[in-house]
Structure 1
Amino acid sequence: MRPVSAQPDAGAPALSRFVTDDLGEVREWLDRVYGSRLLMGRIREGTARLAVSAADAGPLRTTDLTLPGTMTCRNRDIETVRAGLVLSGTVTIEDAQGVHRYGPGDALMATFPGDDLVSRAENLRIRTVTLPVDLLADVAGTPHNGSAWPPRLLSRSPHGPAASRMIADALALTDALLSGPAATHPLVVGNAARLLAAGILAAFPTTLTVREEARADHVDATPAVLRLAVAHIEAHYADPDLSLADIAAAACATPRAVQYAFRRHHGTTPMGYVRRVRLAAAHADLLAADPAAGATVSAIAARWGFYHLGRFSAFYRRVYGRSPRDTLST
């Protein structure tokens, strides 16, 4: 194995890369990183190589993986969610639902908690993102002890070509984020992980997106619930892991009831309200900062989880009627 790795400063993503043409090392890597047991592999020694580039940041892990030749693997008892986008080659997955074949441009759910599957890769290059299932549940607003727990995957394939493109766009945006200076900010990484989780929930049908007891949630969307939720947000908005599930627990209500309450009384979602509070914090920092001392709009925006400067500037202008650059320079 020929590892090439770079350990950045504390707080930055951990980046690593290695290549090998040894089948034993391929077997060890697949088992250690993917939880895959190699059943059968065929590589011409010295002519093809497993190559992987990985980035670990907070709760998410992204990989660009090239599997040479033909590989057949078994996955079972996986605890994380791993979505993928095929760049070249093919992968065929056999599970309890049937046989699924994916080629270039296709998104797929590579593994999901509770899976028992066999996959066959042919000269495969695939981009993957791995997230904890708890994060998907938090983004979906699904209690970990509710009727939808433990969650189940309803289809390994996404809803359609548009869903595959959405996964591709989310992966590209995450790659750009993790390779830039904003990746050192926990709020930025947390928001990126939630963006990916939301994309996966929108692209793939799971029991996490099945909504039950909507009528009771409407009844529970009271002003008292809203007050508790707002108080929790205003006390914890700087927490990069603040989630809908946390807010609902603090409000002693279901996530759906909290969503209804915010929509009814504030015209936004709970996480949209969090975004407003963080924008106000960024505004205060812009007013207090000194550009002569090196303060920049991009650094302040990233500090509060806004890693796309153009969107931050547009959002800021809508709320404050001027650009963040003008605020910083006054």
Structure 2
Amino acid sequence: MRTIDWVDGAVELVDQTRLPDECVMLRIETVADLIDAIRRLAVRGAPALGVAGALGVVLAAGDQDAIARLRAARPTAVNLGWGVDQAAAHLSQGQQAVLKAALRIRDDDIAACEAMGKRGADLLEGDRLRIMTVCNTGGLAAVERGTALGVVQTLHERGRLAEVLALETRPLLQGARLTTWELARMGAPHRLIADSAGPYLLAKGGIDAVLIGADRIAANGDTANKIGSYALALGAERAGVPFIVVAPETTIDQATPSGEHIEIEDRGADEIVTIRGRRVAPEGTRAVNPAFDVTPHDLITAIVTDKRVIRP
């Protein structure tokens, strides 16, 4: 199943807000609808956003204002703007050239995820590995296999996976809703844990590696990823567990010197004071809701891309 694709003149994508209850495909024919899907996280994950950005330029049909609004739909993930820019560079050559560029980005993402899965699995030593991960980094975050969860899938296919411990990933529960759904579909053994249990379980021992994705990697290796990643990095450092970032080369932003220069999106109070539309905090409660945090490069064992292994 492809998370996002170009079908008969429109973008089709899995509405991730409906999972795990139902798997619904959205058909999107306008840039405004695509921006809405991106902002409400119907489509999310750095590689998938790169493809969405490129295909959105096709929908824009040369409308520069629409392209600019699409590029700014989410600020932290570098792949969205990268995908928009890659496709927009072909506007002077006509719509077919733009579409061809966007489809090439889609196909390159599929190949990149395959390569990251193999490279990451080759990097990890031992059999019957227990992996911890946060958020969702599988096929739902890309076009097909995904990044960090793509490594997990490769380990499972090779018979080297004992178990995945997936953080629920507050506040939107991408781990509980999406990662467990994907792990169940691939038949991989897994258990769900609360976000705050991650560092404690690392300290207890028995975890072989922490695998995360990335929304932006600065030039010095500092990595922005889903909120909760930094806490896992601290726990992994203390426990002596490898902490590995898996992301395509396109997520490395050489124009951003370090993590302190990465803009962190705050998504407002509603996601904190409610859970799936149900209020859990008193009326009027204020909240701070950073969607991402930054893990300093000195806490990262390795960055696995589709082309290389970087050891910050």
TM over 0.5: no
TM-score by length of 1: 0.26
Q: Which one has more relative contact order, counting CA pairs under 8 Å at least 6 apart?
A: 2
